[in-house]
Amino acid sequence: MSVTQHDVIIIGAGVAGLTAGAVLAEKGCNVALVAKGEPTACLSTGCIDICSLDHEPLHGIGHLPEEHPYHLVARAVIREAVDRFGKITDEMGLPYVGSLETNRRILAALGTFKNTCLVPSTMAAAPQDEKDDLHIITFSGLKDFYPSYIIARRGNASFSTYEAGADTTMGLAANFERHDFLEKFILWLEKIKIPENKIAFPAVLGLESAARIAQKIESSVGKKIFEIPTIPPSMPGRRLFNVLKDYFRKKGGVIYWSWPVSGVEKAKNIVEAVITPSDGRPQSLNAKAFILASGSFVGGGLHARRDTIVENIFNLPVFVPGKRDDWFDSDYFALNHGIGKAGIIADSSFRPKEAPWENVFVCGGILAHTEVLKNGCGHGLALATGHAAAASCLEYIK
Amino acid sequence: MKYEHCIRCTICVENCPVFRVNPDFPGPKQAGPDAQRFRMEREKSVDKWVLLCSQCKRCNMACPCGVEPAEIILRAQQKYGLQHPRTLAHLLFANNYYLSALGSLTAPVANKIAAMKIGKKIFHAMGIATYIPFPKFSFKTMRGKNKRKAKAAKRVALFYGCFINFYRPDIGRKIIRLLESFNVDVVLPPQWCCGLPALGNGNLTIARYFAQKNAASLSNYIDAGYEIIYTCTSCGLCLLHDYPGILEMPQGKKIAENTRDLHEYIIGLIDDGYIEPQFGEVKRKIAYHIPCHLRALGIGYPAAKIMKMIPGLECEIFDDTCCGLNGSYGFKKTNEATAVQLGNRAVSLIKKTKAENIMADCGSCRMQLGGLSGMEALDPAEVICESLGITGEK
């Protein structure tokens, strides 16, 4: 079995895993990150929800039930995590705006508002109320983005359609990365003479250069522009994933893709290595400590059986919210599904409770009692707990 | 096949390079698990667009649910290939091995014709794209160097692959020198095309024919105590993944268990303390393009680890982009536009870094990126040899 020694191995390449990884790599640790596939961050709006229940996110956190994992993280650490995130995204060319003091709104594709905290600069100009009049640009053939939904909710909006030669978010974003396409598009935009004071686009304005592209359009037409998140494939989510990943690598982190962890090697209460069943012979990676950031159900961290919920890598005890009947609310669109509480309960050092492991830490969506949808706290919780778990892990290996 | 595990999250679609640039391809989700529900075993295959999939396997790697859309599409491609008349280009590329063998035997003439206008016209008439120069055949191949020494403690059988054999045997010879300098005995077992080009062109019969010949030969060497080493990551993926999988080789499991990537093997030697190579300085910035199939192997990036040991070398990893050529995929006229767009994107990202060289484990990636960028594209083994002062000549 091939063996390589690391200080820390992180399982999962989502916001939590990449955050923890970057913190450790910055402190000079030899960090490897293993991932089965791509994280659900790629499916997200790219916005950082800290806590959407209240106008002030920190205030909202204060009102969360006492078992919520946010309470394991000191306020100062949450602030530090958010500041650091701002610095990283600035450095990597995907600036975010917003502050921990107040939530802000972005416009959703249905014309409704979504409460969030930090938004990419391409969504910064989203209207905060009904007053702004909008012009919406869409692209012919683009599915699941219908300006009429927004217009039906706001009287002061109209739309135009551009023929872009692509009809998917991915294809459009690739086109916007091309200089000639962008020039031609801006010419068209200037020609149609938009009377409204703000212009809205589905979130397809490029991949790695989105901030720059949005700026260029804005300065050419002399109006504020902003993006509206689409259903997946979501470009803002992918941009977020890309910058966090690139930053982790830049700090010396190593990533192993298509590396699903199938088991562990252990001695007493120490995990020594994780194993993957690659084609041919199993591969293993050794480390002094492990951080589990494998997400919840969609990310593959938790698995629901007929009558229980399991975690397959370390076989950690999982908090199961009652019997199967209690997992789901009868209203499909309710945010109150009991299953949102399922996950791993961590102690204040972010080690899993009631598990024998000394050198295993957990963070992110796999934690219990998060109720991410109800509380609007997905990426924010990932940032905060990723940070805190990394700090705890660092203390352990030093 | 696990198409029912798909939860329609579309992460595979985000990762599909073809979907990004070719609106005719519906993406791995629709071409894979979605369409699979309607594919009846007894009904004739009608989904011609499955041929647009380049089999880069990025969808498999992205999927959080283990669906493996590329495997579903690969099987649909084989079925389509079997039930429909094949185009000349598909037939030729499935038999790339014999074509290259012929080209290599007649190298001085073949290279001239390929570079001439008339050669390009012939290629176009056969449905073959010529946006990058066709690689030059090498008259000398790897054959005829099959001496067994059996003195060192470590013995390997090198599966060098068609690209090295027919186009760049100089790299192959460097690899042999490199391994010998590590006190490892190298033999060249009888070998043929791994079968991947035939699979990629929807020709399961030819792929199995090659696989059987290779499996028998490699299996003999494994029994004699040799480890199999591959240098081309696509050949490697075929040996490890497809031999026990779709090609159903009885020796498949044994071959997969005893086959390693060259750089993975070298890392193993260093880890075990068998060697302590003294890497010399290579002062250069290199853009390391990770071939899709290296990612799919799930062994990390072993060559990147070695690059970190070389003093002075700056090596930046690019693993988000597919080069677009995918073996013979981009050489088909129907896929030319896709391949060129993908390749240009990969090159533009590399050029931003001001790297002096491109590096890639896979010959076809090197051909594409080198051809489109005009930069020199190296095999990682060439860089290691440079660092250790090993030349191709004895």
Q: Between the CA of residue A303 and those of A41, A308, A321, A327, what are the distances in Å?
A: 19, 9, 14, 13
Q: Do both A251 and A377 map to the same domain?
A: yes
A377, part of any domain? yes
Q: Are B357 and B376 in contact (CB under 8 A)?
A: yes
| Chain A (10-39) residues lying within 8 Å, Cβ to Cβ, of chain B | 32, 36-38
- Is the minimum CB–CB distance between B372 and chain A shorter than 8 Å? no
DSSP string, B291-354: PHHHHHHTS--HHHHHHHHSTTEEEEEE-S---S-TTTGGGBGGGHHHHHHHHHHHHHHHHHTT
Question: What is the percentage of chain A residues whose pLDDT exceeds 70?
Answer: 99
- d(CA A198, CA A194) in angstroms, rounded, equals 9
Q: What is the DSSP letter of B133?
A: P
Kindly give the residue spans of alpha helices, DSSP state H, lying in chain A: 15-26, 57-62, 75-91, 147-153, 169-176, 179-191, 210-221, 235-250, 324-327, 372-375, 378-397
Interface residue B240 vs chain A (CB under 8 A): yes
B319 close to A (CB below 8 A) = yes
User: What is the average pLDDT score of chain A?
Assistant: 94
Asked whether residue A102 is domain-assigned, the answer is no
The answer on pLDDT for A1 being more than 50 is: no
Both A310 and A348 in one domain: the answer is yes
Q: Which of residues 13-42 of B touch A (CB under 8 A)?
A: 13-16, 19-21, 23, 27
A215: domain CATH number?
3.40.50
Burial of A349 from C-beta contacts in 10 A (0-12 / 13-18 / 19+): middle
Cβ-nearest to B298 among A234, A238, A276 = A276
Q: Is B106 helix (H, G, I), strand (E, B) or coil?
A: coil
Confidence class of residue B1 from pLDDT cuts 50, 70 and 90? low
Q: Same domain, yes or no, for A57 and A126? A: no
Do the Cβ atoms of B298 and A238 come within 8 Å? no
Compute the distance between CA of residue A149 and CA of residue A126 in angstroms, rounded to an integer.
16
Q: Domain check: are A392 and A351 in the same one?
A: yes
Answer yes or no: do A283 and B299 touch at CB < 8 A.
yes
- Report yes or no: A278 at the B interface, CB cutoff 8 Å: yes
Closest partner residue to B10 (CB to CB) among A232, A249, A276 is A232
Would you say residue A385 lies in a domain? yes
Each residue of B314-349: pLDDT tens digit? 999 999 899 999 988 999 999 999 999 999 989 999
Asked which of A96-105, B80-89, B207-216 is least confident by mean pLDDT, the reply is B80-89
DSSP label of B163: I
A196 and A245 share one domain: no
| A2 with B264: Cβ contact below 8 A | yes
The rounded Cα B380 to chain-centroid distance in angstroms is 14
Of residues B151 and B219, which shows the higher confidence score? B219
From B340's Cα to the closest Cα of chain A, the distance in A is 14
How far apart, in whole angstroms, are the C-alpha atoms of residue B140 and residue B117?
Answer: 26
Domain co-membership, A130 together with A220? yes
CB A256 within 8 A of CB A32: yes
What residues in A contact B21, CB-CB < 8 Å? 171, 174
- H or E segment at B20? helix B17-21
CATH, residue A264: 3.50.50.60
Clarify whether residues A335 and A358 are in a common domain: yes
- End of a domain among A204, A228, A252? A228
Is B225 in contact with B155 (CB distance < 8 Å)? yes
Domain that holds residue A129: 109-228
B9 band by pLDDT with thresholds 50, 70 and 90: confident
Do residues A14 and A52 share a domain? yes
**Cross-strand bridge partners of residue A115:** A105
Best residue of B10, B228, B230 to probe chain A, by most A CBs closer than 10 Å:
B10
pLDDT grade for A367, boundaries at 50, 70 and 90: very high
B295/A contact by beta carbon, under 8 A: yes
Compare CB distances from A279 to B9, B241, B304 and report the shortest one's residue: B241
Residue A338 lies in a domain: yes
Residues A47 and A371: their CA atoms lie apart, in Å, by 17
pLDDT at B297 over 80: yes
| Pair (A254, A389) in one structural domain | yes
pLDDT of residue B60: 92
| 153-212 in chain B: CB under 8 A from chain A | none
3-state secondary structure of B280: coil
Best of A34, A38, A235 to substitute, by most chain B Cβ atoms within 10 angstroms, is: A38
Residues of B in contact with A281 (CB under 8 A): 256-257
CB–CB contacts below 8 A, A to B: 109
| Residue A102 in this model has a pLDDT that exceeds 90 | yes
Q: Which residue has 């206008």 as its token pair?
A: B117
pLDDT digits (tens, 9 = 90+) for A287-336: 999 999 999 998 889 999 999 999 999 999 999 999 999 999 999 888 88
- Residue A280's pLDDT is what? 80
3-state DSSP assignment of residue A300: coil
Q: What is the pLDDT of residue B257?
A: 94
Contact map slice: A 219-258 vs B, CB within 8 A = 232-234, 238, 242, 249, 254, 256-258
In this structure, the strands spanning A104-107 and B154-159 are: unpaired
In the listed set A177, A207, A228, which residue is the last one of a domain according to the structure?
A: A228
Query: B158 φ, ψ to 5°?
Result: -90, 120
Query: Is residue A207 within 8 Å of residue B349, measured between CB atoms?
Result: no
**Whether pLDDT at B177 is above 80:** yes
Query: Do A82 and A143 share a structural domain?
Result: no
**Model confidence band, residue B149 (pLDDT cutoffs 50, 70, 90):** low
* Of B157, B315, B141, the residue nearest B226 (C-alpha): B157
Q: Are residues A181 and A209 in the same domain?
A: yes
The rounded distance, in Å, linking the Cα atoms of A122 and B192 is 53
Structure tokens at B64: 């959080």
The strand order across the sheet containing B154-159 reads B184-187, B154-159, B227-230, B259-261
Helices in A201-346 by DSSP H: which ranges?
210-221, 235-250, 324-327
Structure tokens belonging to residue A118:
């930090």
Nearest CA in chain B to A174: B20
Percent of chain B surpassing pLDDT 90: 68
Question: Counting beta carbons within 10 angstroms of the beta carbon of residue B93, is it exposed (0 to 12), middle (13 to 18) or buried (19 or more)?
Answer: buried
pLDDT value at A70 more than 60: yes
Residue of chain B with shortest Cα separation from A1:
B268
Instruction: Return the residue of B nearest to A42 by Cα.
Output: B11
B52-74 tens-digit pLDDT:
999 999 999 998 888 999 999 99
C-beta atoms of A232 and B268 within 8 A:
no
* CB-CB under 8 Å, A283 with B240: no
- Show the tokens assigned to B353: 């870094």
How far apart, in Å, do the first and last CA atoms of chain A sit?
28
Q: How many CA atoms lie within 13 A of A53 on its CB side?
A: 17
Answer with the one of A209, A228, A247 that is the final residue of a domain.
A228
Domain membership flag for residue A233: no
CA B153 – CA A321 distance, rounded (Å): 58
Which band of pLDDT confidence, cut at 50, 70 and 90, is reported for residue B147?
Answer: low
Token pair 């590396």 in the structure block, residue: A259
Residue A397 reports pLDDT greater than 50: yes
pLDDT digit string, tens, across residues B379-394 = 999 999 999 999 866 5
pLDDT band at A4 (very low <50, low <70, confident <90, very high): low
Instruction: Point out the residue among A171, A234, A258 whose CB comes nearest to the CB of B298.
Output: A258
Q: From residue A11, give the alpha-carbon distance in Å to each of A43, A272, B272.
A: 19, 14, 26
Distance from CA of B44 to the nearest CA of A (A): 30
* Residue A2 clears pLDDT 70, i.e. is over it: no
Total of domains in chain A: 2
Beta-carbon contacts of residue A34 (< 8 Å; ≥ 6 apart): A9, A10, A11, A255, A256, A259, A261, A274, A276, A285
CA distance A31 to chain B (A): 13
Q: What is the ipTM of this complex?
A: 0.88
Chain center to CA of A316: 24
CB atoms within 10 A of CB B151: 8
- Closest CB to A279 among B256, B264, B268: B256
d(CA B370, CA B357): 9
Asked if A230 and A205 touch (Cβ cutoff 8 Å), the reply is no
Cβ–Cβ gap A281/B257 under 8 Å: yes
* Residue B306: CA count within 13 A, CB half-sphere: 29
Is A99 part of any domain? no
Domain contains A104: no
The answer for A36, left when phi > 0, alpha when psi is -120 to 50, beta otherwise, is alpha
- In this structure, are A382 and A259 located in the same domain? yes
Scan for tokens 């991949």, then name that residue. A207
- Please work out, in degrees rounded to the nearest 5, the angle formed at the alpha carbon of residue B65 by the alpha carbons of B59 and B67: 55
Domains and CATH numbers, chain B: 3-83 (1.10.1060.10), 278-388 (3.40.50.10700)
Share of chain A above pLDDT 90, in %: 87
Are residues B241 and B61 in contact, defined by beta-carbon separation less than 8 angstroms?
no
* Contact at CB, B23 and A43, closer than 8 angstroms: no
pLDDT of residue A311: 96
Q: Is residue A100 part of a domain?
A: no
* Cβ–Cβ below 8 Å for A298 and B9: yes
Q: Tell me the pairing of strands A303-304 and A309-310.
A: antiparallel
User: Within an 8 Å CB–CB cutoff, is residue B268 touching chain A?
Assistant: yes
Q: How far apart are CA B170 and CA B185, in angstroms?
A: 18
